[in-house]
Structure formats: structure tokens, C-alpha cells
């Protein structure tokens, strides 16, 4: 009998680029990642999640600093056995890295707060916590994916998660075309979680994923910003059209606006570097609002990349 749980890979793990190793560790322990999504956490939600009568918690400010570091990766795990939560708890290790056994995930953590992962104690707690983290509708979609995994959803989410991660440094961290590419991949992931219930949506998302990964590969291989902008010119319309079609099939106007927001920035870059890129438009503010409303993660660096293009 199969069972399931989830692992909340916390922002410290993403900042330290530990996510790929954690995914490998899940698999090695017999915990199969069947869905994943980048989400923004807030201190109030997490304090409620961790609250228990016998547990002393750090102050609100400590949680706020921690969760403002970046996104978390909500990872759904399926186990061919009746004890997924037990297996994950054993793999996780002690809360304090100083007390964690070698080989456990938290052995590599920094402290009792920045210790890489959170997981629930049992399936009932898992579902209750998911409802707090992503809302009842998406929590149920995650549960159904755990019960009957769809390989297409796995590919669209887990198989895309590393390409969608925000960059915290490096030569390409401030590239506008690559920032928009990452945002579009996150739109694909967000739509994919509930796509099984919508006829015709998964094939559109698969096509969008392929197009975006091809674009990403080309952009990464280019040495200069003008070259990346030129490459975006050739690809922008297709990526935008595929995602708009997918959002339309999903009947999600809020997601359509999230697609149009960053796409409008690129579209203006495409047409002679006018409007946004030449400082004649304030459209970046509604762009940010649309992305936030759709629940698509946007890092502070990515916000700056979109906004600063207004001043060039």
C-alpha cells in the first residue's frame, strides 16, 4: 500500500543551493517526488504551522528574516509502503543540526531554524498543513497527485523545478530575458498541479515547457545582454501565446494577467527597446501585482530586474 507525505524545503536550502541534493536524498530513501512548486512563505503562517503547547518558538522577527530569504519548495513525496511520514521523519533528523545524526538531512543545517526541511508527522497532519500553505483546493490537488501520480505533472513540476529557481548570484542573475523565462516556468508549474482535472491543459503545458527550456538553453549560452535580448525577440511571442492559451483553458483570468505582466516587459524590449526599457512606462507595478495575485513566486532580485528596466 502506497503512502504519501510532503517535504517543505525551506528558503535556506534554496539560497545554499541544497535542493538538488535533497531531491536525490528523497529518492534514495524511497520517497518519490511526484510534484513540486515554489511558494512564498510568511512568518505568521509558519508560526501557526509550528505552534504546539510543548514547543518554544523563536520570535516573529526571526521567522520573518528566515522566510524573506527566498522561496520554499513544496515537494510532494510518494512511498511504496505505509509509512511515508515515518521514513521522511527519520531521513530529516533532529531539529538541532548539532544533535542530528550524520547522514540525516539536518546534519548539514545551520541551526535550529535554518535546518533545510520541514515535514509533517502523519498524513492527516500533512493534509491539514497543506491547506494552510496553499489553500484547500490546491491541497486536494496535491493529495490526488500523491494518490494517482500523473507522470506529466511530475515532469512539469519536479522536472522543471531547478530551471525555475531564482538566481541569488552569478553572471546571469540580472538578465531580464532569463528572469522572465523563470517566471514563465513557474506559471507552468502552478497550472500543472490542478491540470489533470482540466481537459486539454496538460498538452499545452508540455509544449510550453519544451519551448521555455529551449529558450533557456539558448539564453544561457549567449555572452552578452544584447545577444540575449535579440534571442528573446525570436521566441517571446510563442512562449506568451502558449501560456495564454493554457491559462485560458484553465479558465484562470488571474493567471492570464500574470502571464501578460512579464510578457509585456519583454514585448516592449522586443519592439525597439521602447516604453519600459527606455523609461516611458510605469507598467512594472501592475506587473508585480498580477504575479503576486496569481501566487507565482517573484524574488526581490527579479522584482528589481523588472522594475529597473523602467529606468534604462
**Burial class of residue 133, CB neighbours in 10 A (0-12, 13-18, 19+):** buried
Please check the confidence at residue 270 and state whether its pLDDT lies above 50. Answer: no
For position 136, what pLDDT does the model report? 93
- 93-113 tens-digit pLDDT: 999 999 999 999 999 999 988
Q: Is the pLDDT of residue 280 over 70?
A: no
Q: What confidence score (pLDDT) does residue 263 get?
A: 59
Give dist(CA 266, CA 180) in Å, integer: 8
Q: Are 89 and 119 contacting, i.e. CB atoms less than 8 angstroms apart?
A: yes
Q: What is the pLDDT of residue 311?
A: 61
The CA-based dihedral angle spanning residues 33, 38, 44, 48, taken in that order and rounded to the nearest 10 degrees: -10
Instruction: Count Cβ atoms below 10 Å from residue 191 Cβ, excluding itself.
Output: 26
Q: What are the φ/ψ torsions at residue 301 (nearest 5 degrees)?
A: -65, -45
Q: Summarize the confidence of residues 32-46 as an average pLDDT.
A: 93
Residue 128 pLDDT more than 90? yes
pLDDT at position 274 over 60: no
DSSP code for 166:
P
Average pLDDT for 297-303: 91
- Residue 240's pLDDT is 86
Percent of the chain topping pLDDT 70: 89
Q: Nearest 5 degrees, angle CA 65-CA 69-CA 72?
A: 115
Are the C-beta atoms of residues 262 and 291 closer than 8 Å to each other? yes
Residue 119 has pLDDT above 90, yes or no: yes
Cα–Cα distance, 97 to 13 (Å, whole number) = 14
pLDDT at 49: 82
Q: Place 244 in a pLDDT band, splitting at 50, 70 and 90.
A: confident
CB-based contacts of 118: which residues, under 8 Å, 6+ apart?
Answer: 7, 8, 10, 49, 50
Query: Could you tell me the fold of the domain covering 3-149?
Result: Alpha-Beta Plaits (3.30.70)
Task: List the chain domain ranges.
Answer: 3-149, 162-311
* Calpha distance 209→215 (Å, rounded): 10
Amino acid at each position: 500500500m502506497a503512502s504519501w507525505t510532503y517535504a517543505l524545503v525551506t528558503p535556506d536550502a534554496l539560497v545554499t543551493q541544497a535542493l538538488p541534493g535533497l531531491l536525490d536524498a528523497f529518492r534514495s530513501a524511497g520517497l518519490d517526488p511526484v510534484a513540486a512548486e515554489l511558494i512564498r512563505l510568511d512568518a505568521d503562517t509558519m508560526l501557526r504551522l509550528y505552534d504546539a503547547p510543548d514547543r518554544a518558538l523563536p520570535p516573529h522577527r526571526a521567522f520573518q528574516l528566515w522566510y524573506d530569504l527566498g522561496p520554499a519548495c513544496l515537494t510532494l513525496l510518494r512511498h511504496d509502503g505505509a509509512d511515508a511520514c515515518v521514513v521522511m521523519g527519520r531521513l530529516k533528523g533532529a531539529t538541532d543540526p548539532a544533535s542530528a545524526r550524520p547522514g540525516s538531512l539536518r546534519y548539514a543545517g545551520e541551526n535550529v531554524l535554518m535546518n533545510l526541511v520541514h515535514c509533517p508527522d502523519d498524513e492527516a497532519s500533512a493534509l491539514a498543513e497543506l491547506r494552510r500553505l496553499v489553500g484547500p483546493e490546491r491541497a486536494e490537488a496535491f493529495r490526488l497527485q500523491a494518490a494517482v501520480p500523473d507522470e506529466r505533472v511530475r515532469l512539469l513540476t519536479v522536472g522543471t523545478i531547478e530551471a525555475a529557481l531564482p538566481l541569488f548570484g552569478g553572471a546571469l542573475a540580472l538578465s531580464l530575458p532569463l528572469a522572465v523565462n523563470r517566471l514563465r516556468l513557474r506559471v507552468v508549474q502552478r497550472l500543472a498541479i490542478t491540470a489533470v482535472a482540466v481537459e486539454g491543459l496538460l498538452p499545452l503545458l508540455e509544449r510550453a515547457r519544451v519551448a521555455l527550456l529551449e529558450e533557456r538553453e539558448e539564453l544561457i549560452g549567449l555572452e552578452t545582454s544584447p545577444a540575449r535580448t535579440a534571442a528573446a525577440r525570436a521566441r517571446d511571442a510563442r512562449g506568451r501565446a502558449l501560456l495564454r492559451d493554457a491559462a485560458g483553458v484553465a479558465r484562470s483570468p488571474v493567471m492570464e494577467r500574470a502571464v501578460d505582466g512579464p510578457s509585456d516587459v519583454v514585448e516592449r524590449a522586443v519592439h525597439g527597446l521602447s516604453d519600459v526599457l527606455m523609461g516611458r512606462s510605469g507598467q512594472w507595478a501592475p506587473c508585480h501585482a498580477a504575479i503576486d495575485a496569481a501566487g507565482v513566486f517573484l524574488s526581490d532580485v527579479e522584482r528589481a530586474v523588472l522594475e529597473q528596466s523602467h529606468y534604462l
